[in-house]
Amino acid sequence: MTTAVNVKKTRQHTMLLNVGPSHPAMHGIIRLILELDGERIVSSDVEIGYLHRAFEKSSELSGYLQVIPYTDRLNYVSPLINNQGYSMAVEKLFGIKPTERCEYIRVIMSELSRITDHLTCIGANVMELGAFTAFLYMMKAREMIYQGIEMVTGARLTISYVRPGGVKGDLPPEFEPHIRSALKETRKVLKECHQLLTRNRIFVDRLKEIGVISKEDALAYGITGPFLRSTGIDYDVRKNSPYSVYERFDFDIPVGTTGDNYDRYLCRMEEMEQSIRIVEQALVQIPQGNVMVDVEGKEIPAALMVDLAKMGETEGFGELEASADPTLGGTSERFHSLVQAGEKRAVLPPKEDTYGNIEGLMQHFKLIMFGHGIIPPAGEVYQAVEGANGELGFFVVSDGTGRPYRVRVRPPCFTIMAALPKLINGGFLADVIPTFGSVNMIGGELDR
């Protein structure tokens, strides 16, 4: 007699799902390969590199000044901070110290960029969760700040404003009243969004205790910025390694406790308040000098100045001011010494000198022409600034020629993306969207 034994076999049924790169929440450049058990994520693989821009190699094939437009396109939501980080690295190679007014302008513009970056991050994230009203409010505030940035730089995103030795031009007279009004409006928007979101049960349930990372893991991955501070570590380059004139301002570093999506949201909301504090203090403290003094009211269109100089009719140019188009606003002689270091090896001359005398024309020509340009001494430097996503660092090596021998950028969101599988594994498919949104991944910075 034989006995039949029923053996019960268990099998785990999982499914592979591609999310992206052609997906609205993946920004078109990220691919997630998810192994799902129902809606639960068993494992994940993050694939980047769809937007490789060759920033570093392109920089090594360009002159030092020509790298500035490339830096705009790293984190293109806060390009002024990228400009500043790279320019400070080149200044460190030269041993150049920018003027005090220039340092204040850099801080003002960088903090405005930080606000626009956080508004974009939170606004887009909450929109993906269904809070469309908050998104519209935040874009309204961002638009007002962009208008102020455009007054100064002539552009909104790809601004190429900060240069080694200074900035492109001075702040126009209409900038301060506009930006004060914009900051006042931004404060109102932040208050409205707190009322819409911070205690909203649906919003809190989508973020609270989702995408948690511990202090130890965050440090092990090399994560910085709001992502690290959400775990309770108060590391901020502006406080821990002060640069520019940040040590002169009174501001706090918001930190969280649990390292989840909700804490990252709160950290960014409070960081915008602190950035507003910094800008308001800087507008009060910024040294004015003779920037408000007109040169006897005499102006001459820059194009006419060039035509007269071609004919040798340059008499009296020393007392005249070049009336340039808006993109060259603030580049005339009466502003030049306030926003540019007195360093002929790296700084273009004022427009009056370029158009009006042979020495200025030669200096401009030598800095721009191929084979000459900005030539720092041989050496290597690393300069870090606090980007909107964390520590943004530039490692620049000079071999004593007009091109950098090596340019290496430390993009802050790269290390966070490396930790993304740890954040989403074990969670639900629906939780990928708020967690990925809290990373604030910017493709130009990530893939560079």
Check whether 142 has a pLDDT greater than 80: yes
pLDDT in tens, 201-219: 999 999 999 999 999 999 9
Name the band, by pLDDT with cuts 50, 70 and 90, for residue 139.
very high
pLDDT at 233: 95
* pLDDT 10s digits, 321-345: 666 666 666 677 777 777 888 788 8
Which tens digit of pLDDT belongs to each residue from 57-102?
999 998 898 999 999 999 999 999 999 999 999 999 988 888 899 9
The span from the CA of 42 to the CA of 428, in Å, is 9
Residue 162: half-sphere exposure toward Cβ, Cα within 13 Å: 30
Identify the residue with better confidence: 229 or 345.
229
Q: What is the DSSP letter of 428?
A: B
Domains, the chain: 69-287+379-447 (1.10.645.10), 299-368 (no CATH)
The residue among 426 and 366 whose pLDDT is bigger is 426
The answer to whether residues 159 and 72 touch, using CB atoms and an 8 Å cutoff, is: yes
The pLDDT confidence band at residue 299, using thresholds 50, 70 and 90, is low
DSSP per-residue codes, 250-280: -------SS-SHHHHHHHHHHHHHHHHHHHH
What is residue 352's predicted lDDT score, i.e. its pLDDT? 75
Per-position DSSP letters for 8-21, written without gaps between them: -------EEEEE-S
Show the tokens assigned to 382: 């690393």
Closest CA to 172 of 340, 300, 329: 329
- List Cβ<8 Å contacts ≥24 apart for 281-284: 281/248, 281/249, 281/250, 282/104, 282/107, 282/108, 282/111, 282/245, 282/249, 283/108, 283/176, 283/179, 283/180
